[in-house]
Structure 1
Amino acid sequence: MKPKHKRLLMISGVLGCFGLAAFLVMSALEDNIVFFFSPSEIYTKVKDPQKLVRLGGLVEKGSLKREGTKVHFIVSDGSAKLPVIYEGILPDLFREGQGVVSLGYLKKDHFEAQDVLAKHDENYMPPEVVDALKKTGRWQDAE
């Protein structure tokens, strides 16, 4: 075998190993990735009720109800609404009419949140929420 062929074989072997390693890493990460969905797309995109997902949108005004440590509210993106049930203490910045991202599981008639994140100041909203609001026409740019 000529040295030229040996180098070509070695390079292709190394590239094959890198490709296999990348494939294995991506396969392992696929189960740990948590996707973001708006209320209008969550029922069409999430098929497995065991899958942990993020729901984002605006907390609808007048929808917040407390029963001890259990909290009920509705998340909306302008075209669809989804009731959310959360048990625990809400963040200090959580308010009606503000952006929220909830981590949890989709049930038949509601979203069961394990964690609720509120926007951290007056100008910030997660990019995914902004994109979802822009799609529905509810986004208003700051002037």
Structure 2
Amino acid sequence: MNSSQKKRLSLVAGGVVICGAAVALVMNAFEENLVFFFSPSQVAAHEAPEGRAFRIGGFVQEGSVVRQQDGVTVRFEVTDTAHSVPVTYKGSLPDLFKEGKGVVAQGKLMNGTFVADQVLAKHDENYMPPEAEKAVKEAHEKAHAKNAKKEL
């Protein structure tokens, strides 16, 4: 192998290393910003990651909204009709946030309580995020099947 071939080989090897490093950095950044969606039933089944950001969706449980004395902190429960998850949020809630209505919260699960840093309420009377709608439907079907099994 002469010197020009060695130079060419080292340039190609250097290019491959640089491309590999760039791909690794992009994948790492993508993974850090990836936010999964979980239903309250999945959280109750311990499928959701503890201490890592994700979204939870469902309905605001009737009678569960409690505003703290500081005027900023709100506690409520998100339900999919089968399970409920307690949520704590500091900040102003959207105008459309109401008990019994659809909600999606983003944050982290800590010691069994979902600590939200963002709360989104549905923007239309008939709208629910597809993931939340699917989760509620599945939970409702499981509850119905469970009740039918008890009757037998």
TM, length-normalised to structure 1: 0.75
Q: State which of 10, 34, 46 in structure 1 corresponds to 2:48.
A: 46
- The aligned counterpart of 1:8 is none
Matches within 5 A, 1:1-143: 25-43=26-44, 44-49=46-51, 51-67=52-68, 68-137=71-140
Residue type matched to 1:45 in 2?
A: E
Structure having the higher Rg: 2
User: Deviations for 1:4-48, whole angstroms, at most 9, x for unmatched residues?
Assistant: xxxxxxxxxxxx9xxx67776444312210001011112522334
TM, length-normalised to structure 2: 0.71
Give the number of equivalent residue pairs: 122
- Runs of 5+ in structure 1 lacking a partner? 1-15, 139-143
2-structure distance, mates of 1:29, 1:45: 21
1-structure distance, mates of 2:62, 2:137: 19
- Runs of 5+ in structure 2 lacking a partner? 1-15, 142-152
2-structure distance, mates of 1:48, 1:97: 26
- The aligned counterpart of 1:6 is none
The structure in which a higher percent of residues are helix is 2
